[in-house]
Chain A
């Protein structure tokens, strides 16, 4: 049956972990595959454009992505993420410490 071969939608938190921090008004999120076999999937599915859409209404600027295959990791820079950042920001998460977990909510297609 066609339905059976369909990839499964899986939240990133099931196959990746992450840590985030700040540089001014930019939050960075390092997204790390838990297993090496999942890294190519992150590269393919978690594009800068997709992350920008994911954070619609949360960040005001563009998203940049860098690849670190040696660490099974992608690094995202989310610009305009922190209400001015640092001491200016009024946000609970003024330093972007938990942006990482917001990215882990994203659902991606994982082959069965």
Chain B
């Protein structure tokens, strides 16, 4: 029988989010699913690197101890999990979770669904050769321009394989590059029997997913609307979708938690990373954010209705990561009096030295933290009496050598540049490899999602 209400709890908004959130979402009140989103745009390339060093890695390692902690309660409460923690190696991630579950005495009590098929790296040359240019969505350049430097290539799968894994009886669904929204929409399609062409309902589930995919950003975190009055952020409750079969839903949080659920705060999350609001494109549908109706229905409850969707496109978005070059950022802190002028003088000395050494960079960027780092010239002239200013200089180049040399030009300024300088305890900055993001589109026909099960 179809449930009348399904609750999907946002429990991680990115790889590195609050480790306490999943457990608190699980035990703080009734929920049916925990949704844990781990993948940002270039996360896959980091995981690909880890996998190339050790074929049993390539997923969000933090996910394993986190699951270990919640598995007994998860089984007891019959709560399911959807997560893209699998990264570029969902199967290895599932095996590691299964091992942890067996150690906890949960053998025979859990089934893990594994979603793969998003990884295009092994087929990349074949795809390019057969007329799929994977042109950069921002610049139009064909991927062949950087082919030799490509480190990962993944199609963004949607909710469909998540639904299939749940249909086959998975309690925990571990995926590779499935969209953040698909991890919430999948459970709703499965529980309510929504069809793959029920565009309005799919759009509603997508909006629900978007609202909770960044964790507490819709429940009082990073909330500019009224931030000084958000209660008890130390104890913040993460958002929960309380969905109904007709596609309406509420965003709520557990009782006795901090934070706040308001129309203003939820609206901030809705416009976050928004493009054209008429066409929020996912693999599952195209959601129209201009149709969303919000209503505050009591404390910490915002109701969503009216959401309309359009048919999905015939393309998957593809995210590639490629080696771009090197960068480094150096900082020094200058103290009153004339802190800003000293920092400016130090910047001039540094740039002169880089020039005299004949070093060339794609970019040298100077910011004065405390003066213009976040608002640039919009910040206006600083107070002449600033207590301190941080000089922050970044360089970027295709070769490592000039970046390496730059990192050795910061410390000398302490003794041979302008006075009253400190804040260098961290030592010399380190050159960092830049792995850049390459968004593209690919015909859906070229990608087949796979679902298999790991029984604990």
Contacts and interface: CB of A to CB of B under 8 A. Distances in A.
Interface of A: 17-26, 28, 30, 32, 34, 54-55, 57-58, 66-73, 75, 77, 83-88, 90-93, 98, 100-102, 105
Contact of B224 (A19, A25, A73, A93): A19
B333 to A, nearest CB: 14
B161 to A, nearest CB: 25
B343 to A, nearest CB: 14
A93 B367 CA distance: 11
Nearest to A64: B276
Nearest to B373: A92
A68 B374 CA distance: 27
Contact of B291 (A70, A72, A83): A70
Contacts of A77: 275
A30 B138 contact: no
A25 B41 CA distance: 13
B88 to A, nearest CB: 17
B224 A100 contact: yes
Q: 4 shortest A-B CB distances, which residue pairs?
A: A30-B271, A90-B394, A21-B273, A19-B268
19 contacts: A17-B264, A23-B273, A28-B274, A30-B270, A32-B264, A34-B225, A55-B378, A58-B378, A70-B292, A75-B277, A84-B363, A86-B42, A86-B436, A90-B327, A91-B365, A91-B394, A92-B367, A93-B374, A105-B378
A69 B374 contact: no
Main secondary structure of the interface of B (DSSP, over half): mixed
Contacts of B437: 24, 85-87
B336 interface: no
A105 B42 CA distance: 32
Given A71-B270, A71-B271, A88-B434, A93 B289 contact: no
B451 to A, nearest CB: 30
Contacts of A68: 271, 277, 289-290
Interface string B276-292: 11100000000001111
Contacts of A71: 267, 270-271, 289, 292, 294
B369 interface: yes
A73 B273 contact: no
Contacts of A66: 274, 276-278
Interface in B436-451: 436-437, 439
Please tell me the size bucket of the interface on B. 35 or more
Main secondary structure of the interface of A (DSSP, over half): mixed
A13 B388 CA distance: 27
Contacts of A58: 375-378
Contacts of B277: 66, 68, 75
A13 B289 CA distance: 24
B324 interface: yes
Interface in B410-445: 434-437, 439
Given A21-B273, A30-B274, A102 B292 contact: no
Interface in B291-316: 291-294, 306
A61 to B, nearest CB: 11
A102 B271 contact: no
A88 B324 CA distance: 8
A22 B251 CA distance: 24
Contacts of A22: 273
A21 to B, nearest CB: 4
Contacts of B276: 66
